[in-house]
Each structure stands twice: as C-alpha cells, then as structure tokens.
Structure 1
C-alpha cells in the first residue's frame, strides 16, 4: 500500500534507443488515462448487476436483452462490449509505461533498478492472477489465463521494449503477431474424427469453423495442446484436459502485442506536438488497426477470437482502444472537461484494488446487507428487480471503498 499517487498500471517510454531525458519530456499525468482505465474497471465491476438475470426476468424486453448480450463474452468469434475489457486494460498498461520510466528517471532510479522492479512486478501479477483463480478451490489452481497473469507474463518484455525506438517496437509487434499466427497455422487442424465432446465442445457446436480457419477451433488448437502439456507440470486435483472457455496460457504472447500497441500510443502522447495532432494520429491508428484486423478475418486468414487472442483480434480490439483513448484524451485533457469523469477517475487510479475487490468481496457485501437489513432487502422493488438492486448496492459499496482510499491517497501498487 502506498500513500503517493502514481498510476497503478505499469508505464514507460516511447524512447529512442537511449534513455529519455526527463528534463525534456513533460512530467504530466494525463487524467484521460485514469478515466479510460476507470471505465474499463467499472465495466468489469458492473458484472455485479447481473444483467443476464434481468433479461431472463423480462424475456420480452429488447433493452434488457441488449444489455445482457453486451455484459457477456461472445461464444467464440466476434466482439461485444464485455470482450473489450481485457484488451483495454492490457492496452493501458502499455500506454502508461512511458510516463512511468520518465517519472522514475526523474527520481534518479537506475535502469538496472527499474529492470529488477519490472521483473518483480511481472512475477507478482502472475501470482496474483493465480491466487484470484484459486479462491474457493481445494488447492492452488495453477492456471494463467487471468488478465493479471497474462499481463505479468509479458510485462518484462514490454519494459525492455520501452527502451527501444518506435521502429523497433513496431517490428516487435509484427514478429509477435506473425509468429503467433504461424504457430496456429502450422499446428495440425482437427480432422473429421476429432472427439470434440471429450474436449469440452459439443459435436454440433455452431461456432466450429471449417477449412483453414479450423486451426483456431476451440480446444483443438496449438495453445490448447501446449496447456495439455504445460499445466500438467503443476500439482492439480486431476489432470488438465481442456479449459471450459477455451482460454489458454499462450494468449499472453498476442496480449503482449496489445500492450505494444498501447506502448506506441503512450509514446505518441509523450511527444512534443500539438494536442489535436495527437488526437488525429490516434484516430488514424485506430481506424487502420481495426480495419486490418477485420480484413484478416474477412479474408479467411484468421478469425477474430478474443478467448485465444488471435492476431486479428489483437489488431481489431487494439484499434478500438486507440479510438477510445483518442476520445478520452480529446475530451478530458485537450478540451478540459474533467468534472464529469471524477467517479471513473476514483476507480482508475486504484485499478488493482478495484480488480481484487470485485473478485473477492461481492458475496461478503451482499451477505452483510441481508444480515443487517433483512433477507428480502433486495426485493424492495419486486422480485424481478432483485438482481439489479443487489448489483447497484454492491457497486455502490465498492465505489465508496475506492473513494475512501482515494481521499486518503491510498493506492494499491504492484
């Protein structure tokens, strides 16, 4: 726990091949980054609203159906709002990195000390993800698909790239995405006799792909094969066979690609150029990246699948992240409209705390309400609205905890 207020997410530098000069680069904290991060974390915390249950309670409502659809992940290909939470969080790790390196250099920290801290941060994030995935389990659940673990696995490499030129960073992005695509394309596609039900997939699952795209089918791809070996190296109550959602450890590689996109965006924000020029370049980058990701999928060269973080997904979702960052930067930091975003900023400045609280204390909060206000406290507006009332109460308490920490300048850092 810290009493200063640097960003909770890793940060770095658009840097040339040599270290940035903190006396030349402006030492400014962009509120837009905190606000964007706050929106991302709010969407994650808003799972407490149980919009899917509300849609079931009101089966004739198109509004509840729409909201419920965007609060759940797509089954395999495609994208809804909820699918953008993890790539946005990862993207912002890269965006923040340039500011962190410059800030640490201004404090006199050596590159060696910063490197050691980056390695430590990566390890802690990996283990924190494992811890959160182990809550309620009979033993440690050694799995690495949690957002924090995915970021932690790639963070030391991202930090190393933070000291390289933008051209080098761009080539690194290309190598990461091309290499990950080649890994899947080279792995044998499942044949007609592949036993999908034995791997957690219905034989007639409508999302199974054919032809070249079948290389990216659920629990029959290169990343699944890696986990079938790798995760069984760890103690587990029974051998690992497949992940029910199709998630995979190796997704940290293209997730690194998402963080590199953020690193490039953060480097642009650190440049001495007119603010509206930065907004324009972010928009152009966003449109191009999204179009390229969509184009790859449309050409049948690789589907847009968030669960295994395909290269087309990295570009497609990364483009939207550029556009969102451009919007927040324009409104909050260029135009200067900040007051409306204060609730989001409270969350965004303590995102690690928000992430952990959302995963650990929801049931405690709900039980406390029922203990002190009665078992039917959430039915005050009718049984149909119970999931929503419960969610609003939970979100309110979570935000008040974060606000209390904000007022006392208590920011959980890794």
Structure 2
C-alpha cells in the first residue's frame, strides 16, 4: 500500500519540533537546580560522556533540516525565483547570526563596567522582538511598523556601544566567541539550505552532501585535514562539519519522503528511517573508542549517536501523528512548534526580571526530583505563554 503525499507540510515535523523545543527550555532551566542527576546534564568537554541535555540541540538541527525542503519547495510553488530564495536564506542567516552574536556576548557581559547585565539582556530581547515580530498586513500602518523595526535596530546598536565584557581588568568589546546556539543554527541553515536549493530532491546528491559533512568531521578528528590548519584560523565549517551534518541528515530524511512516499508503503519509509538511524548509531559507537563522545568537542561519535536518535525519533513521530493521526496530545505544545524563536527567547526576559527583582524560589523547590518537576512546569508555562502572546500579535519569524 502506498500513501498520499503532502509536499507542503508534515505534522510530525511540527510536533517533533514542539517536543524538542519544550525539552530545550527544560534542560536550559536545569542550571537553576541543585542535586540534578548527572545523566540529565551537559557533559564536560574533556569527558567521554553524553547527558540527555547533549541530545536536544542535535535533534533541533536535524529538524531544521527536515523543514528546509518543504519550505523551499513551498516558496518555489508560489513563484519565487532561486535568487529571491537565496536572498531569503541570507536574510534568515543574518538574523540568526546577529541574535547569536548578542546572546553569546551576554554570557561575557561585565555588569560592573556598564548598565546591569540583566537590564542589557531585557533590552536585547525587546530589540529582537521589535525587529523580527510578524506585524499585521495593514498597509496603512506599514510606516509605523517600519519605525518599530528601526527602533529595534537602534536599541541593539545602543547596547553594542555601551557593551563591555570580559573578566577582571581584561575588558573587551563584543566578539564572536562560539557564535551561540542561534549562530550555530544560522551557519548550518545557510550551508544546507543553499545546497538543497541547487540540488533539490536529487536523493543521491543529497545523501552525498550529508556524508560529506560527516566525513569532514571524521577527517578533522583523524588529522587528515592538518594541512588546512592555517585556513582553519580564518574560515571553517562550523563544528568541523558536525552541525551541518545533523541538519543535512534531516534534509536527507525529508527528501527521501518527498521523492519516494508515493511509491512505497508507509512502513517502508519508517523502516528506511530506522535503518539510517541504526547505521548512524553503529558509526557513532564505532568511533567512540578513538575520540570519545563529546558535544563540546563535537566528536564523530556525538554526531553519529545523536543523528541515529534523530532519525529514529522522527520515524516514531511520523508513525504516531501522520500515519495514525494521534496529534491531540501535542496541542498544548503547538506554540513551541510554530513560534519556536518566540518560545526560545521568553526565558531570557524571565531570568533577567526575577534576578533584578531578587526573586528566588525556596531550595526545596529547586532540588532533586521536585526541582526537575519545577523545570518541566516552567517549560510548559513558557510554551503556554508563547501561545497567549501570539494571540495578541506578538510572534517572531525570520
């Protein structure tokens, strides 16, 4: 039996994204707790280990890849040219890199040398919202909305002017550091979306592109690319290929669906995803003895294992939602899947406000199992709040 193909959207992608975003907010809140099991947390860079927190970002990058073929094909169906789409890819990349640049510098802000770090943080998010909010299509207020975006850019410019970072007497201005989560997404999106734009649904070429990033990462750790060390200081594939490797894996999964879903049975597609997942896991565990598992070092083992988890997780969500129609359970998480950037940024405001106000929950609520439940509830509340502010016209989109 074959099944009807939808070239515009898969519910499983939105739900996979929503669950992943919910878990990202949850693991990002673990820093507020004490007595958290080690397996839940991020592992240290030198360790040969991987906590639950180390899996979430790779899954998100994989989902970015899942969305790319559908998004670009949708734009093409509306008549957008390759040049227009390429410009859109550039605009999205710029937005992610700019936000990543500010958020990563927030970590190194020197409160004693400028305004409060937390006030700076609040205005940073306000600037983001003013610039990238989805404004109503009211032509009569277009000038007003343009003014709001201009004010947003002026806020960011002002924050950049007054910024001072570093530690002790080593005061520095804003600099890239490690790009931040949003910046890493931006670089991965730029590479993979551009590749897909020119290759489209040519399965073999897409898989070759995916394997290129995987093997580039392996070659870097194996020392094969040492002759490029000088170049590496100036320009390099982010994460030595690992970040776009996750994203291109998602692109490959979507392309396989788009190309073959009208020719094969649904369970065959699921079997292909599971097979790719198992092969990735074998690769991941097979390379572990050489360089260990490490998110911080972006080792081949981390790339392989998390890619395997992503393929199998997508197979599960596809089976559950698109194939069996079980979607109602995820309704409460919907804003995290459709307004992901809004959802991601809300905690920045919350953490800054409670710090400035001196609000702190009792230690009993922030310890062990009770603390974990607190962070799960916090994540759910952020998702619900995202849905509420969406209804009043506040939603970021790039």
Q: TM-score, normalised on structure 1?
A: 0.68
1:54-203 to 2 correspondence within 5 Å? Answer: 54-55=34-35, 65=37, 68-75=38-45, 76-135=47-106, 137=109, 138=164, 139-162=173-196, 163-164=198-199, 165-186=202-223
Q: Which moved more, 1:137-146 or 1:281-290?
A: 137-146
Judged with a 3 Å threshold, the aligned counterparts in structure 2 of structure 1 residues 286 and 184 are, in CA distance, closer, same or farther, namely closer
Contact 2:293 2:299 (8 Å CA) reproduced: yes
Q: Residues 319-373 of structure 1, C-alpha deviation per residue, up to 9 Å, x if partnerless?
A: 1100000111111111111111112222111111122223x213245359x68xx
Quick one: distance in 2 between partners of 1:353 and 1:319? 28
SS class of match (1:79): coil
Alpha-carbon offset, residue 410 of structure 1: 5.1
Paired positions, count? 323
Contact 2:64 2:250 (8 Å CA) reproduced: yes
Q: Residues 271-310 of structure 1, C-alpha deviation per residue, up to 9 Å, x if partnerless?
A: 3233222212111111111112211224x3x433221222
Q: Residues 146-193 of structure 1, C-alpha deviation per residue, up to 9 Å, x if partnerless?
A: 22211212323212321322211222233323233333333899xxxx
Judged with a 3 Å threshold, the aligned counterparts in structure 2 of structure 1 residues 54 and 347 are, in CA distance, closer, same or farther, namely same
**Which residue does the alignment assign to 2:138?**
none
1:8-407 to 2 correspondence within 5 Å? Answer: 26-47=6-27, 49-50=29-30, 53-55=33-35, 65=37, 68-75=38-45, 76-135=47-106, 137=109, 138=164, 139-162=173-196, 163-164=198-199, 165-186=202-223, 229=233, 250-251=238-239, 253-270=241-258, 271-272=261-262, 273-298=264-289, 300=290, 302-358=291-347, 360-366=348-354, 378-379=361-362, 391=375, 394-395=378-379, 397-407=381-391
Alpha-carbon offset, residue 101 of structure 1: 1.2
Quick one: distance in 2 between partners of 1:174 and 1:188? 16
Contact 1:49 1:387 (8 Å CA) reproduced: no
Judged with a 3 Å threshold, the aligned counterparts in structure 2 of structure 1 residues 30 and 252 are, in CA distance, closer, same or farther, namely farther
Contact 2:335 2:384 (8 Å CA) reproduced: no
Contact 1:47 1:71 (8 Å CA) reproduced: yes
Alpha-carbon offset, residue 226 of structure 1: 7.8
SS class of match (1:361): helix
Judged with a 3 Å threshold, the aligned counterparts in structure 2 of structure 1 residues 73 and 350 are, in CA distance, closer, same or farther, namely farther
SS class of match (1:309): coil
Gap runs ≥5 in structure 1 = 1-23, 56-63, 190-221, 232-247
Quick one: distance in 1 between partners of 2:8 and 2:244? 25
Gap runs ≥5 in structure 2 = 110-163, 165-172
Q: Residues 119-152 of structure 1, C-alpha deviation per residue, up to 9 Å, x if partnerless?
A: 2212221221111112261232422342221121
Judged with a 3 Å threshold, the aligned counterparts in structure 2 of structure 1 residues 274 and 365 are, in CA distance, closer, same or farther, namely farther
Contact 1:54 1:388 (8 Å CA) reproduced: no
Q: Residues 227-285 of structure 1, C-alpha deviation per residue, up to 9 Å, x if partnerless?
A: 8x559xxxxxxxxxxxxxxxx98416321111111100111232323322221211111
Alpha-carbon offset, residue 402 of structure 1: 0.8
SS class of match (2:33): helix
SS class of match (2:9): coil
Alpha-carbon offset, residue 390 of structure 1: 6.5
Judged with a 3 Å threshold, the aligned counterparts in structure 2 of structure 1 residues 353 and 255 are, in CA distance, closer, same or farther, namely same
Quick one: distance in 2 between partners of 1:230 and 1:46? 35
User: Over the residues paired in the alignment, what is the CA RMSD in angstroms?
Assistant: 3.3
Quick one: distance in 1 between partners of 2:377 and 2:354? 8
User: Is the helix fraction higher in 1 or 2?
Assistant: 2
